[in-house]
Structure 1
Amino acid sequence: MALFIKILSLRHRYFWVVLISIMSCLLPWVKAIGQKSLGAKAPWPVTTYEAENMTTSGKLLGPVYGPYQVQTASSDQMCVALKGANAFVAFTAQQRANAMVIRYSLTDGASGESRQAGLLILINGKAAAHAAICSKYSWLYGDYPFTNRPQAGKPRNFYDACRIKALSIEPGDQITIKLEGTPKDASSCMIDLVDLENVPPPLKAPQGAIWLTDARLVSEQTSAGDYTVALRKAINLALKSSKKVWIPAGVYQISGDILLPSDICIQGAGMWYTNFVGDSANYPNPQRRVRFKGAGDHIYLSDFSITGKLDYRSDEEENDGIVGSFGTNSTISRLWIEHTKVGMWLDNSSHLTIEGCRLRNTIADGINLWVGVTSTVIENCSARGTGDDCFAIWPMASAAQKYQPGHNLIKDCTAQLPFLANGIAIYGGNSNQVRDCLLEDISAGSAILLSTTFPTKKGAMDNNFSGKTRIENCRISKSGGFDHSWDWRGAVEFCLDKKNITGIVLKELSIDSSLSSGIHIIGHTDNGTITTNTDTLLNFQGRMDNIRIGKFGLGTSVNTTDGLSVTGPVGGVLECQNTQLNKTEHKASRLLIKGD
């Protein structure tokens, strides 16, 4: 009140100066509380620090937005290059933490051989931890499905990550990360970002559980440190006694399939404490990989990590990671999956819940709901650095389909930085939904893609789009990049590949800083993409409500991209309400756009 009286006593012109200053401070706050929050709403325990904002002795690279560039594959399309021993980045911690993830790119050798180096972590100038890094699980080249030979050109999959725990970081601490090794070992190392997290203590064993480390089980090991046989035995004992399988903190090598029958529960001490790892020597054999294979109902997996040893892609080989059928009412909770072909590739599951999982640096998809998946929820999951769609729903038609696919929900999820394909992709099905998701830095495809490219019809079975497919309340940024098969994708794209897409509802989307167009609707027939108006039109039916498209064309030209772009033989109706498309372009299209 005293301040208010003092302001009134000032000369007239000074009153307005002060008032304007006060209002300029208040306006951002007013705007913030008046604007609906978009994107993932579930709390995420990680604080991310971008390398471009750190103090460094290295070189800032970017931003760059074109394909086959390490900068484009970085968050915010920028990174820092460290060259030579003792090159560093440094930053100030904002919150307490005891664990760290460093996303790095270490260049391959000239012939594609893996290079090794080290990162030294210092806290307030004192050495706290050392992380060994290598290029073995990054850097692929050439055309799909890619090779490890640099001579093939077209590099991708630049990044890997290392995890460090048992740190002690307080707010205000100075964190320094130094590159160790000779120039021969590490000619260049890019740092993209650092995650800090305060990991809770390890969980305690459930009462009466079967311990994997029980001496009676460990004696069944086929080799020192290999727990494949022991885990199979523990599962059998747990089923007979109606108990859980408990995996205490530790590292456990797995070198073969782990079959998951009905009513089995496998629990670890936490994704930072319990780790199932592959056997490097045996991993080239697809049957000797880390593979948890669902084969029943009421299966419960929680609180552990899976770390594979896969460094190439072959679609003919069986997927590792979490695969198979989870029947009815199963849950997969708080898993960390890395360096496998896929994180999860699931079929014939109903009312499955996947929650709190992290998919990292896989060769292909993060999570794919494949044949016969219905009423399944993926929530509060994060995918980063996947080699195909971060999250996908592909209701492929198959004689093995047990449930009618559809009514699946992806919510409160974060998709970032896949080196191929899209953030979230839906390839058909009845009334699937995406809600409250954050999608950013999707530079090799679309943040959200709805497409008919992959088969969903076989005989009388047709799982193409039906009902209402809803995409709601999502935040999208720096997406819509170059796809090796489809050229530049829109940040949100509808790809009518010889089939119709109908029943689409987009609501409350923020799309900003798109590398190409904000929204792209493309029709494709056997005659090509751009066709004459005499061709049979593909039918698109959709509605947009409260869509905001900001900047676009960062990776191309604003003259060749648009807020909304429609190309090819597309007919039908798109209704728009309370929507700012920024710029609209029709190319050989008869799509009717109605509304504002």
Structure 2
Amino acid sequence: MRKNLILLFLFALFSFPAFAGHWALRHVSSGEYLYSKEGQLALAAEFCLTDPSFSWLLEPQADGSLRIQSGDCAKYLASTGNGSMSSVAEDWTVTSTADQLYRTLKGKEGTLKAYGTDLWRIEPVAAPVDLKGRGAKITWTEYQAEHGDFQGVLIGPSTELQDPASEAVGRMGVKLEQTGDRVSWIAEADADGLELRYSIPDAPKGGGMDATLSLYINDEKSECLALTSRHAWIYGEGHSASRFWTDDPNNGTPRKHFDTQRFRLKQPILAGDIVELRRENTDDAAFYMIDMIELEKIPAIGERPEGFLSITDFGAVANDGKDDSEALSQSLSQAADMGAAGVWVPAGIFDFFPKEPIPEDVPGNPDQTLYQRFPLSDIHLKGAGAWHSELRGNGIAFQCGTRWQVSDLAIDWQGESRRSAMLFFGRTGQDSGFSNLYITRCGLVLSIYDPDSRNFTVRNSRIRSTFAGGINLRGGHRNALIENVHTRGTGDDALIFWSTKSEKSERPTRDSVIRNCTC
């Protein structure tokens, strides 16, 4: 029996300025909220309930009020401290029968919109939180689709497993289904870089598909954005399933609906410009679910530090689509032999192909030793900036030792399922870490036991759209620091200290800090 249940209706604006612990009533079939005649969100509910998916029936009464009945057990709408049922506000009256208990809400400020005996669901409404001084210090501006001006279908909010809206930031987004559907925002600052979090359909047999979406600036077409679903849409049941999550639709429940793509814009955006994503007749995906965009000013290209060897000195060529594995391997080896300060990755995209494909039938998480790995020990691998230097492809991953650093570049592993690699594998040793990285589409970034780990640091980095976790420091780390890291769309944990002991480390993780991060 659910006890101590309080149901109290409060007025709120449609823009959802809610209060901590509050809930809203949503019509299950239409997705609409309960509105007043002015079109504002009329009701939100505050109550103590262990099951947030509890359902209710709303019944209009002859006097214009609404009677609300529990759709699950038809009981326990309110309770006083002694367990007897009573109303909690003057606007409520209680009507009960032998097996049902009702509460009637007298109309406030106009006629409330109702749907007879349709099923409604009580859902959480986020409370405003003062975030000043909290989280990562970001260099971009976020624009949520549901807060923009749009013509399309508002999706969410939802916490249902198979509902794509449940994976969106804020559990909401906008779906562009028809030619001419659009979503737009007014730019708050100058920008020439755009990051889009979106979902387009999978191919019928899995493996993803490609499509375009048109970008307009001030109602003039700027360019077509090339999108893909090849790095989203994985399928499967729980961790105990015989086949773990794969990109085969026959494997079970769909997951990971959204992917993130970055674009260096052909036309810069100025503060005050109208930035619009519009579906045209040449944009031929069945739908486009837009979660959000980020706009930012791309930093200047960094310069090659003194004493660094360049991978281009060993045959790597940027943007040629050819494998640069041998060039990176030779440059790291030569730098270690010479005692060089590090290895430089200049501006451009450098591609890495695997030596051997990972078997398709590998159950669960694949053996990380199967992947091609480049050694990192007593070395600094540095790029010209995360918007400028990129290591791309499922042939890039690292076998880590001690005193290694990786900084100022992007790593896009291009993974398509849970079989994707862990980028940093092995050890952290002493005084290792990475900074100013943009990491996406890998299995996970790092998950390491190391009883000798000291002073490991991760700073000023972004992690996007991984198939498993982000950074997982398992047993043995001491004085580790994760600072100013922003994560979004990790399949498992984002940032975690796992202070366990095991056969891999008799020491737990201790004296470590996660500071000013956003997950």
TM score, norm. by length of structure 1: 0.57
Q: Distance in 2 between matches of 1:44 and 1:362?
A: 20
Say if 2:236 is the partner of 1:142.
yes
Kept after mapping to 2: 8 A contact 1:122/1:176? yes
Q: Deviations over 1:130-181 (max 9, x none)?
A: 3211211112223033233435553221100111114411110011112356
* Structure 1 equivalent of residue 277 of structure 2: 177
Which amino acid in 1 is paired with 2:443?
A: K
* Structure 2 equivalent of residue 118 of structure 1: 212
Matches within 5 A, 1:33-52: 40=134, 42-52=136-146
Kept after mapping to 2: 8 A contact 1:212/1:245? yes
Q: Distance in 1 between matches of 2:385 and 2:373?
A: 19
Which amino acid in 1 is paired with 2:398?
A: F
Q: Distance in 2 between matches of 1:203 and 1:220?
A: 18
1:129 to 213, 223, 237: 223
Say if 2:237 is the partner of 1:237.
no
Report deviation, 1:86. 4.2
Q: Distance in 2 between matches of 1:182 and 1:80?
A: 20
Q: Deviations over 1:188-209 (max 9, x none)?
A: 1100101111121111111232
* Structure 2 equivalent of residue 472 of structure 1: none
Say if 2:409 is the partner of 1:304.
yes
Matches within 5 A, 1:335-414: 335-348=437-450, 349-401=453-505, 404-414=508-518
CA shift in 2, pair 1:114/1:219, >3 Å = closer
* Structure 1 equivalent of residue 294 of structure 2: 195
Report deviation, 1:311. 1.5
Report deviation, 1:67. 2.1
Say if 2:364 is the partner of 1:262.
no
Kept after mapping to 2: 8 A contact 1:118/1:180? no
CA shift in 2, pair 1:90/1:327, >3 Å = same
* Structure 2 equivalent of residue 295 of structure 1: 401
Gaps of 5+ in 1: 1-34, 284-288, 416-596
Secondary structure of the residue aligned to 1:72 is: helix
Secondary structure of the residue aligned to 1:158 is: coil
* Structure 2 equivalent of residue 488 of structure 1: none
Q: Distance in 1 between matches of 2:232 and 2:316?
A: 36
Kept after mapping to 1: 8 A contact 2:475/2:505? yes
Kept after mapping to 2: 8 A contact 1:84/1:182? no
Matches within 5 A, 1:266-277: 266-277=381-392
2:433 to 323, 331, 334: 331
Which amino acid in 2 is paired with 1:103?
A: R
Q: Distance in 1 between matches of 2:449 and 2:385?
A: 26
Report deviation, 1:402. 7.6
Q: Distance in 1 between matches of 2:506 and 2:225?
A: 46
* Structure 2 equivalent of residue 12 of structure 1: none
Kept after mapping to 1: 8 A contact 2:157/2:170? yes
Which amino acid in 1 is paired with 2:509?
A: P
Kept after mapping to 2: 8 A contact 1:120/1:127? yes
Report deviation, 1:376. 0.6
CA shift in 2, pair 1:69/1:266, >3 Å = same
Which amino acid in 1 is paired with 2:424?
A: I
* Structure 2 equivalent of residue 478 of structure 1: none
* Structure 2 equivalent of residue 320 of structure 1: 422
Report deviation, 1:120. 2.0
Report deviation, 1:62. 1.8
* Structure 1 equivalent of residue 315 of structure 2: 218
Matches within 5 A, 1:561-576: none
Report deviation, 1:304. 0.6
Which amino acid in 1 is paired with 2:285?
A: A
Matches within 5 A, 1:435-454: none
Q: Deviations over 1:274-322 (max 9, x none)?
A: 11011xxxx4xxxxx32122112x21110111111221224xx8x3312
Secondary structure of the residue aligned to 2:234 is: coil
Gaps of 5+ in 2: 1-128, 239-243, 355-371
Kept after mapping to 2: 8 A contact 1:129/1:164? no
Kept after mapping to 2: 8 A contact 1:307/1:340? yes
Higher relative contact order (CA 8 A, sep 6+): 2
| Identity level (%) | 29
Kept after mapping to 1: 8 A contact 2:475/2:508? no
Kept after mapping to 2: 8 A contact 1:290/1:320? no
Q: Larger deviation: 142-151 or 380-389?
A: 142-151
Matches within 5 A, 1:470-489: none
TM score, norm. by length of structure 2: 0.65
